[in-house]
Amino acid sequence: MKIKCPYCGFEGEPKDYYLLYEAVVNVALFKPMEEGRERPPLLICPKCGKAFPSGEFYGKVKEKLRKQHVS
């Protein structure tokens, strides 16, 4: 399976890309709170260095929007 960078067009295997997980901890009155939104892992292109979410995330967003539109 090849992954294509949407910025520079580089195509490579998943092992060629770097994976970045973003984490946020919100604290209110000294206890953590749930953020309430999904933060997908980001793929970082080894050629241009720009990050983009994986294709799975876009599928989830499209499905969520479709459900909201139908309701």
* Mean pLDDT calculated for residue range 29-34: 75
Q: Rounded CA gap, 52 and 50, in Å?
A: 7
Q: Is 19 helix (H, G, I), strand (E, B) or coil?
A: strand
- pLDDT class of 22 with cuts at 50, 70, 90: confident
The predicted pLDDT at position 21 comes to: 87
Question: Does 63 have pLDDT greater than 90?
Answer: no
The predicted pLDDT at position 71 comes to: 58
Question: Does 67 have pLDDT greater than 70?
Answer: yes
Euclidean distance between the first and the last CA atom of the chain, given in angstroms as a whole number: 36
Decide which of 40 and 37 is more confident: 40
Question: Does 54 have pLDDT greater than 90?
Answer: no
Parse the chain into domains and list their residue ranges. 3-70
